[in-house]
Amino acid sequence: MSILATEINAGTSEIEETRVEARKIEERTLREVTVKIGLERIDTQEGITMEVLLDSRATGLVMSSEFARKQGFKLKRLERPMHIRNMDRSLNKEGSIKHTVEVNIYYQGHRKRTEIDVIKGQK
């Protein structure tokens, strides 16, 4: 009897883990909000319109190195690299931030000049 109860509890535990994982995925999906912005290169005043993730849980603005290269953004080298930590506080495997780009961001009639950190990676 106890072996059967253990097997039932193990099966129930696996089902509960699956439900918890499904809720986490659903919560992530519900939190992903994108907005359309204008992004202007400072050096050429050329701009693009794009959709961006509003809350990626990053502590600042970030852009991938691949995107910066494809769009022709002028990279500005940082005096000291910034180390990146993941949500679990471990160091990011892609390495530190070594460059930024200076841009104008346009959204609903407002303009803000700012620097965006450039991270290794795609998109």
Question: Tokens in use for 83?
Answer: 């180390």
Statement to judge: residues 42 and 65 lie in one domain: yes
CATH number at residue 110: 2.40.70
pLDDT in tens, 50-77: 888 876 666 778 899 999 999 999 999 9
DSSP state for residue 34 in the 8-state scheme: E
- Integer Cα distance of 117 and 49 in angstroms: 19
Q: How many domains does the chain have?
A: 2
Q: What is the pLDDT of residue 17?
A: 73
Statement to judge: residues 9 and 68 lie in one domain: no
Statement to judge: residues 40 and 97 lie in one domain: yes
Domain residue limits at 14: 1-31
Query: Residue 83 — φ and ψ, nearest 5°?
Result: -80, 140
Statement to judge: residues 1 and 47 lie in one domain: no
- Integer Cα distance of 38 and 106 in angstroms: 5
Question: SS3 of 61, please?
Answer: coil
pLDDT in tens, 104-120: 999 999 999 999 999 88
- Integer Cα distance of 105 and 41 in angstroms: 9
Structure-model confidence comparison of residues 31 and 110, the more confident one: 110
pTM above 0.75, yes or no: no
Statement to judge: residues 109 and 76 lie in one domain: yes
